[in-house]
Amino acid sequence: MTIKLHCFGESGNAYKAALALELSGLDWEPVYVDFFGGQARSPEYRELNVMGEAPVMEDGDLRLTQSGVIQQYITDKSGKFGGAPQDKYEVLRWVLWDNHKLSSQAGVTRFLMNFLPEEKRPQEVIGFLQGRLKAAYQTLDTHLEGRDWIVGDGMTNADLSCCGYLFYPEPFGFDRKDWTNIDRWLSNIENTPGWKHPYDLMPGNPSDRA
Amino acid sequence: MTIKLHCFGESGNAYKAALALELSGLDWEPVYVDFFGGQARSPEYRELNVMGEAPVMEDGDLRLTQSGVIQQYITDKSGKFGGAPQDKYEVLRWVLWDNHKLSSQAGVTRFLMNFLPEEKRPQEVIGFLQGRLKAAYQTLDTHLEGRDWIVGDGMTNADLSCCGYLFYPEPFGFDRKDWTNIDRWLSNIENTPGWKHPYDLMPGNPSDRA
């Protein structure tokens, strides 16, 4: 049974699940969600996911949403990315921190700065979110000092979660050159065999709408 | 060994952990964090938690942060609030959604509207966050239609997470009377034996600084 992931290239949250699937070796395929065409706000999509969000994963009759849940399922099924048994709380800690402080705010900021018409971009909001994001980059960079991975000695869901928005080319106030430890850690991820950029892993990218 | 929870009354994120501890029957005590006095930004506190956040839980030599992680630990230790085995992904799904869309934004909005000096309150940001929160309340209210609890037949970490900011009296754009299903669900939580309001469960509240 091929796992289906409802996703689109621009979504860093979908990327977190797609990259975990791709690197796990499980059999999967993307199903394109036309987010910018409003598909995620349709009644049919709300039926699929009351949260109105991508990604949604389907494995036979099982349907899961929230990238962190899909990652946990991939770990349960493939045995990968869960970290050492004693690190399970530390992996979950960074997944939750990412959802709370990093990907959530990076996703919104990137949307406001790139996918809204220029005259509709709320500059005070963008500045506010960029300030909060800077504090998040600082936290992650400090934690990565002397470490190759966020938890333990290899890639875990903590890495697959926190990197969600950090490979995208559209500006949102993040420049990896400003953060030595984050930059090195992102290179470790990129150099992992099988790694793919979000726009190479999932259908849909800004040039489709240009 | 008494579990220590570093927390303060105004923090809905700390409340999520404190309420789980209180209702679990585990032996615990709060340790006051003077957040508004800047303690969480001090080097000593950053040593305790690089994320600079409350809550922090200590159980002997084990130290955990992120309310969702502490909740998972309480579930592992007490056997409570994890839901039925087949519901584990659904419980985690709502904990992650709460971190991403509900508590994170409610906490910031309440802070901006109540704990910043009036002349420093960024009105465009507040309006933007309130709009996003309204979508979150709608998602939760829709999900709770016909349900007493977010997942399954009893209280789980999904409930203990999503309610984090919803009992506070300070205005942030949420009025439970506007959301029939959320209102009924919050009453179910309040009517649970042992339930306490955040300001009765943890030290520190706005009147201390009045």
- Residue A136 at interface with chain B, using a CB cutoff of 8 Å: no
pLDDT for position B28: 98
Residue B120 lies in a domain: yes
pLDDT by 10s per residue, chain B, length 210: 899 999 999 999 999 999 999 999 999 999 999 999 999 999 999 999 999 999 999 999 999 999 999 999 999 999 999 999 999 999 999 999 999 999 999 999 999 999 999 999 999 999 999 999 999 999 999 999 999 999 999 999 999 999 999 999 999 999 999 999 999 999 999 999 999 999 999 999 988 876
How big is chain B, counted in residues? 210
Strands ordered across the beta sheet of B62-65: B28-32, B3-7, B56-59, B62-65
Do A96 and A66 sit in the same domain of this protein?
no
Q: Give the three-state DSSP class for A32.
A: strand
Do A186 and A102 sit in the same domain of this protein?
yes
Give the number of beta-carbon pairs within 8 Å between A and B: 82
Q: Is residue A197 a contact partner of residue A186, using CB atoms and an 8 Å limit?
A: no
| pLDDT mean over A99-114 | 97
Task: Categorize the per-residue pLDDT at A91 as very low, low, confident or very high, splitting at 50, 70 and 90.
Answer: very high
Residues of chain A with Cβ-Cβ distance to B52 below 8 Å are 135, 139
> What total number of domains does chain B contain?
2
Cβ-defined contact of A69 to B92 (cutoff 8 Å): yes
Tokens 């890639």 belong to which residue? A155
Do B105 and B50 sit in the same domain of this protein?
no
Residue B174's CATH number: 1.20.1050.10
The range of the structural domain enclosing residue B25 comes to: 3-81+195-205
The residues pairing with B5 across neighbouring beta strands, listed in sequence order, are B30, B57
Q: Is residue B207 a contact partner of residue B11, using CB atoms and an 8 Å limit?
A: no
**Which of B69, B93, B108 lies closest to A92 in CB terms?**
B69
Do B102 and B173 sit in the same domain of this protein?
yes
| Inter-residue long-range contacts of A38-44, CB under 8 Å, 24+ positions, other chains counted | none
Task: Tell me the pLDDT of chain A averaged across its residues.
Answer: 96
Do A142 and A172 sit in the same domain of this protein?
yes
Do B58 and B99 sit in the same domain of this protein?
no
To probe the interface with B, which of A92, A120, A145 has the most B CB atoms within 10 Å?
A92
pLDDT digits over A137-183, tens only?
A: 999 999 999 999 999 999 999 999 999 999 999 999 999 999 999 99
Residue B56 lies in a domain: yes
Q: Which amino acid is at A164?
A: G
Task: Categorize the per-residue pLDDT at A209 as very low, low, confident or very high, splitting at 50, 70 and 90.
Answer: confident
Residue B19 has which token pair? Answer: 């309420």
How big is chain A, counted in residues? 210
Tokens 């942030």 belong to which residue? B172
Cβ-defined contact of B65 to A104 (cutoff 8 Å): no
What is the chain A residue with the closest CA to B122? A124
DSSP A102: I
Q: Which helix (H) or strand (E) holds A3?
A: strand A3-7
Do B111 and B30 sit in the same domain of this protein?
no
User: Which of A164, A166, A156, A161 is closest to A192 using CA atoms?
Assistant: A156
pLDDT for position B210: 67
Residue B210 lies in a domain: no
Measured CA to CA, the distance from residue A28 to residue A74 in angstroms comes to 11
pLDDT for position A207: 85
- Residue A49 at interface with chain B, using a CB cutoff of 8 Å: no
Three-state SS string across chain B, please? CCEEEEECCCCHHHHHHHHHHHHHCCCEEEEECCHHHCHHHCHHHHHHCCCCCCCEEEECCEEEECHHHHHHHHHHHHCCCCCCHHHHHHHHHHHHHHHHHHHHHHHHHHHHHHCCCHHHCCHHHHHHHHHHHHHHHHHHHHHHCCCCCCCCCCCCHHHHHHCCCCCCCCCCCCCHHHCHHHHHHHHHHHCCCCCCCHHHHCCCCHHHHC
**Measured at the alpha carbon of residue B14, what is the angle toward residues B9 and B15, in degrees to the nearest 5?**
70
What is the chain A residue with the closest CA to B127? A125
Task: Categorize the per-residue pLDDT at A210 as very low, low, confident or very high, splitting at 50, 70 and 90.
Answer: low
User: Which of A123, A128, A111, A110 is closest to A173 using CA atoms?
Assistant: A110
Do B61 and B97 sit in the same domain of this protein?
no
Do B12 and B35 sit in the same domain of this protein?
yes
pLDDT for position A204: 92
Residues of chain A numbered 84-123 and touching chain B (CB < 8 Å): 89, 92-93, 95-97, 99-101, 103-104, 108, 122
Residue A27 has which token pair? Answer: 């059999």
Say how far residue B58 (Cα) sits from the centre of its chain: 18
Do A186 and A199 sit in the same domain of this protein?
no
**Cβ burial B135-169 (10 Å sphere, 16+ → b, else e):** ebbebbbebbeeeebbbbeebbbbbbbbbbbbbbe
Residue B50 lies in a domain: yes
Residues 6+ positions from A10 with CB-CB distance below 8 Å? A35, A36, A115, A168, A198, A204, A205, A206
pLDDT for position B207: 85
The residues pairing with A65 across neighbouring beta strands, listed in sequence order, are A56
Task: Categorize the per-residue pLDDT at A1 as very low, low, confident or very high, splitting at 50, 70 and 90.
Answer: confident
Q: What's the gap in Å between the CA of A159 and the closest CA on chain B? A: 16
pLDDT for position B26: 98
Residue B165 lies in a domain: yes
Residue A47's CATH number: 3.40.30.10
Residue B35 lies in a domain: yes
| pLDDT mean over A103-126 | 96
pLDDT for position A208: 84
Do A90 and A185 sit in the same domain of this protein?
yes
Tokens 């709408």 belong to which residue? A209
Q: What's the gap in Å between the CA of B135 and the closest CA on chain A? A: 9
> At residue A35, what are phi and psi to the nearest 5 degrees?
-60, -45
Cβ-defined contact of B66 to A142 (cutoff 8 Å): no
Do B76 and B92 sit in the same domain of this protein?
no
> At residue A166, what are phi and psi to the nearest 5 degrees?
-85, -5
Cβ-defined contact of B139 to A51 (cutoff 8 Å): yes
The residues pairing with A59 across neighbouring beta strands, listed in sequence order, are A62
Q: Give the three-state DSSP class for A22.
A: helix
Helices (H) and strands (E) in chain A, counts: 9, 4
Q: What's the gap in Å between the CA of A125 and the closest CA on chain B? A: 5
